[in-house]
Amino acid sequence: MKHADLGEEAGMEVITFTKDTVLSDIHLHIPHKRHLMVRLNRVGQPVFQTQFKILSKESASQSAKEDCVSITENEDIKQLNESGSLPFKHTTQNDGQVIEDLLDEDGDLEVQRRPRCPSERSGCQRFDRDVVCPTILRIGCDDQVEEEEESSNNNEVVKIEHTMATPLEDVGKQIWRGAFLLADYILGQQDLFRGCTVLELGAGTGFTSIIMATVAKTVYCTDVGHDLLEMCERNLVLNRSFMGKADGQIKVKELDWLKNQLCKDAENPYSWTEDDIADFYDHTTVIIAADVFYDDDLTDALFKTLSQITHALRSPSTIYLSMERRYNFTLRYMDVTCDAYNHFRNCLNNFETTANGKQRWSAKEIQPVFPQFLSYEREHLELWKITSTPLD
Ligand SMILES: C[S@@+](CC[C@H](N)C(=O)[O-])C[C@H]1O[C@@H](n2cnc3c(N)ncnc32)[C@H](O)[C@@H]1O
């Protein structure tokens, strides 16, 4: 999350968001972003629609090869290779440089950062990708609604309605890179999720649930807030033809980590029916959440929710969590720290060491070396898989 207090730069327009404004960087590499941000700042929170193109498997694998430079063949990678799911086996760079050439005199790996903008890389197929460009759908209710462009191939494009540069309480209306990392993993490992019943926590715009629904049987896509859940539901409608190729269904439901129960309020359009609840507890085996660790109290609440729900599920489940490590300078330490991430790691550790009477949990980081179907930077992103072993 970038605090959008961008200030004045020489010869550029002054951009001043309010201090609690946060900005997902999914759209930071678009052309004319500065102009867009100035407009955004003037008009508040217009609704945008962005079309995210999904690469074909071949292009994604090729892209992963290009992206995965300077990676040593550690245990995780070896395991993945053996399962045949990794797109590469060698630790060579694009130009054929061997891994030994990348070690410094102490034997440490000198990680080469990927260039940030397309012009910095030449001859790289990855940049044949479409640029991710949002179009404004509406500003308030008065402004004209732009014509929705029909995509040439609906099977390759996910259309998402979202806002940008929101206050913290509305971050779910933006799309975060963690959603892309998790989506990439689902797209690359479809057999793991085929026919499953899945719960997504903190689903936001619904992007990852939409991807998951192309392989899963049922996805309980959950979050809090009527307007956010409404936006999420609109995104399902927008992507009917994208999801149409599979039989998966998505049910948008309210699930608040700060409450101990599923919402059954008949007045709430996103409440759970008795049938939903029975199906959910009887069949859910996969739980996913993308980019939900940014506030320590919410992180505590989320882990408590995970513990309660998995205890109540009939079958053992597997949890996949993606996140971004966010570095901030803090006055407290007079240093750059990663507080929210550190708190997540502590909670994860507690989750593993505290048995809930039914199962023991074991967490493992999945190295982000799987094919990349979407266009985004993977820097500072992590994906964790948490598996359970039943206690006798
Ligand atoms: C940074 S956003 C991530 C959204 C989406 N998963 C993504 O990656 O694009 C965090 C999400 O957590 C949700 N959230 C925050 N507090 C929550 C709570 N108490 N119960 C359920 N969801 C919550 C927010 O509404 C938001 O959708």
Every domain of the chain and the residues it spans: 2-57+128-390, 58-127
**pLDDT classification of 70: cutoffs 50, 70, 90:** very low
pLDDT, residue 247, reads: 77
CB burial readout 234-271, b (16+ within 10 A) else e: bbbebbeebbeeeebebbbbbbebeeeebeeeeeeebe
The response to whether residue 160 sits with its C-beta less than 6 Å from ligand 1 reads: no
Q: Is residue 309's pLDDT more than 80?
A: yes
Q: Is residue 16's pLDDT more than 80?
A: no
Which residues pair with residue 109 across a beta bridge?
103
Q: What is the DSSP letter of 174?
A: S
Q: Which of 222, 202, 205 shows the shortest CA–CA distance to 162?
A: 205
Cα(340) to ligand 1 centroid in Å equals 14
**pLDDT classification of 35: cutoffs 50, 70, 90:** low
Cα separations (Å) of 162 from 26, 68, 93, 166, 349?
A: 11, 30, 37, 10, 34
The response to whether residue 136 sits with its C-beta less than 6 Å from ligand 1 reads: no
The response to whether residue 171 sits with its C-beta less than 6 Å from ligand 1 reads: yes
Residues 136 and 21: beta-carbon distance below 8 Å: no
Distance of alpha carbon 60 from alpha carbon 275, whole angstroms: 39
The response to whether residue 179 sits with its C-beta less than 6 Å from ligand 1 reads: yes
How much is the average pLDDT of 314-327? 94
Distance of alpha carbon 121 from alpha carbon 118, whole angstroms: 6
Q: What is the DSSP letter of 141?
A: T
Distance of alpha carbon 365 from alpha carbon 165, whole angstroms: 30
Nearest alpha carbon, ligand 1 atom 10: 292
User: What is the three-class DSSP state of 165?
Assistant: coil
**pLDDT classification of 329: cutoffs 50, 70, 90:** confident
Residue type at 339? D
The response to whether residue 232 sits with its C-beta less than 6 Å from ligand 1 reads: no
CATH number for the domain running over 2-57+128-390: 3.40.50.150
The response to whether residue 321 sits with its C-beta less than 6 Å from ligand 1 reads: no
Q: 369: part of which helix (H) or strand (E)? A: none
Report the sign of the C-alpha dihedral through residues 127, 128, 129, 130, in that order: positive
In this structure, of 143-157, 299-313, 356-370, the range with the lowest mean pLDDT score is 143-157
Q: Hey, which of 174, 184, 211, 224 would you mutate to test ligand 1's pocket, going by the most ligand atoms within 8 Å of its Cβ?
A: 224
How much is the average pLDDT of 157-167? 88
The response to whether residue 181 sits with its C-beta less than 6 Å from ligand 1 reads: no
The response to whether residue 210 sits with its C-beta less than 6 Å from ligand 1 reads: no
Q: What is the pairing mode between strands 197-201 and 284-290?
A: parallel
Cα(293) to ligand 1 centroid in Å equals 9
Cα(173) to ligand 1 centroid in Å equals 9
Cα(232) to ligand 1 centroid in Å equals 12
Cα(298) to ligand 1 centroid in Å equals 9
Contacts 24+ apart (CB under 8 A), 99-107: 99/70, 99/72, 102/70
How much is the average pLDDT of 142-160? 58
Cα(140) to ligand 1 centroid in Å equals 23
